[in-house]
A and B are shown apart, each in its own frame.
Chain A
Amino acid sequence: MNRYRFCKWSRRLVLLGWLLPPLATASSLFGDENLQIHGFLSQGYTHTSANSWLGDSSNGSWDFRELGLNASYRLTPQLQISGQLLSLTAGEMQDGSPSLDYGLLDYNFANFDNGNLGLRFGRVKTPIGLYNDTRDAAFTRPTNFLPQSIYFDKVRNLELSNDGFQIYGDLLTDWGDLLFQGGMGKPVTDENVEYAYLGNDWQGELSSDFFFLGRIIYELDAGRIRLSATIADGDLDFEPGPTDPFSKGTVSIQLRVLSFQYNAEAWHFTTEYMQEDVINRNLGAFRPDDSGGTAEGFYLQFAHDLFTDWEIIARYDVSYLNRDDRDGTKQEAGPFGIPAHNMFAKDWTLGLRWDITPAFMVRGEYHWVDGTAWLSARENNFFQTERHWQMFSLLASYRF
């Protein structure tokens, strides 16, 4: 992005910043206690020592922006309608065109002494691990970029939301609460999904079938301890174009995530572990049926609150694209000779967050990365990536 465009954008952001606070009280303005309007604006700056992450980052990139605007309305005490518009700009991966992040009806049909049950229908957020549901709102995530071992940004849309339904239930007991979500839905796919699973944006189309999506969370003391297990299971169907090297086939995916979090008054420990099976079927000679594998990832994260408005965070995040080829040597020896370091990434992150006001936050973080597994093929030529690289990211975020 050139300087002129950045100036234009920053002016717009400042303007919006002045216009938005009155919206926060929009519900009272409209005089309707059933209506709520919220949103967020985030602008990031990314600089990498090598490789590209969200734009031309080795020269410093401003191409990371998240704008969200949502509204919810309680039609009856148990029936809520809500929707969120989202504009993501992320280098070559997202161009900022607005999309419907979620738009759903939530019917909380049964309430008991010790819990409740409900049904959501429409475009619903995909429940994965501890952070996925609200990953676009910078305030709700621990760092500017979520741990890429589990929350892939190179295929963000696939994890973001899905069209379908979801049954949910809460069970409150003396020994903790159980929160359950389960349903069927078609994840939103885009060209980034083709890049991630088929290596390019082909003439044909990769579209998702219905996935089974389920998550159970156990919370002790309303979240002092949080334990969770996630499963996502379904197929992506490829319909080839006339010149594509693949035949009509499927990529089957099963994602499994285990999560643990401990929240004390001033510190938080979080760890998550992920496995993702990828099985290619009938795609032809360039993607033989045995060419899939199991990706694996985990991270350990420690955050400490300082003086109530500051938080310091440290994380070690590890991704393997194939757990049977963690160091990538098999891949490098294979027919395409893709350099081994593209098969893994080990990322040390140190970050500092400052909540200047409850509505305005700034966060800086530094990443030391060994490997390039989570970079997008859309922004990088895998034969030219550098194995050891660093990233600095600065993000300012406003919410209402």
Chain B
Amino acid sequence: MEKRQDPTAGIPDRASPWHLPLAPVLLLAFSLLFFPSSQVFALQLITHPNTDIAEISRSTARAVFSMRRQVWPDGGAIRVFVFPDKHKLHKAFAKQLLGVFPHQLRRAWDRKVFSGTGQAPDTVQSEAEMIEMINKTPGAIGYISEDNRDESVQILQVE
């Protein structure tokens, strides 16, 4: 009678502690490397209600959020508000609305701040705080998810 081939033949009975967890760890590593979690959110740019502008080009929006453009067409100061670098809305905003990676924005701000040629944006922690700050700061610009559409702030369309 033919002996059935043991599918685990060749593998030591007691795998060394390095062998066992390797597969799941590698799988996790690869999934993190090649399938970065990129959730899609419907996002919108918002400004202080008195801002006299209804749409903005993507390149101007990039210049604003890179802290390169400092004034609105009417001469008022632009005040930029963002979520922290690792916030899911910030990542989605950078990629979807601006078409850049969050690390590009961080580098642009650092170049400004540590060479004396500009300032960093202000950071808020929640959408409620974002809406509050945009609402009370003349010249403010920021972003929220469309689910949190709020009548108190003005929506800015990206061309």
Contact = CB atoms under 8 A, between A and B. Distances in A.
Nearest to B122: A33
Contacts of B86: 308, 358
A56 interface: no
B114 interface: yes
Interface string B95-107: 0001111011101
A358 B85 contact: yes
B63 interface: yes
A9 B111 CA distance: 28
28 contacts: A36-B120, A38-B120, A72-B116, A77-B70, A78-B71, A78-B75, A80-B119, A82-B116, A84-B114, A84-B116, A111-B70, A125-B116, A125-B117, A133-B111, A139-B110, A140-B107, A140-B110, A170-B69, A172-B63, A221-B100, A222-B66, A222-B105, A223-B108, A266-B33, A266-B36, A305-B103, A308-B86, A358-B84
Nearest to B62: A222
Nearest to A103: B116
A240 B104 CA distance: 48
B44 interface: no
A381 B113 CA distance: 39
Contacts of B69: 111, 116, 170
B119 A72 contact: yes
Contacts of A222: 62, 66, 98-100, 104-105, 108
A104 interface: yes
A114 B120 contact: no
A38 B116 contact: no
Main SS class of interface, A: strand
Most buried by A among B63, B101, B117, B137: B117
Interface of B: 32-33, 36, 59-60, 62-63, 66, 68-71, 73, 75-79, 84-86, 98-101, 103-105, 107-108, 110-111, 113-120, 122, 137, 139
Nearest to B68: A170
A83 interface: yes
Contacts of A140: 107, 110-111, 114
Interface string A108-138: 1001011010001000110000000110110
Contacts of A137: 110, 114
A270 to B, nearest CB: 12
Contact of B71 (A106, A108, A125, A307): A108
Contact of B68 (A72, A116, A224): A116
A218 interface: no
Interface residues of A, number: 50
Contacts of A265: 36, 101
Nearest to B86: A308
A140 B101 CA distance: 16
Most buried by A among B33, B66, B118, B119: B119
A173 B71 CA distance: 19
Contacts of A124: 116
A183 interface: no
Nearest to A174: B59
B107 A223 contact: yes
B97 to A, nearest CB: 12
B77 A77 contact: yes
Contacts of A177: 59, 63
A185 interface: no
A294 interface: no
Contacts of B68: 116, 170
Given A77-B71, A172-B59, A265-B36, A134 B104 contact: no
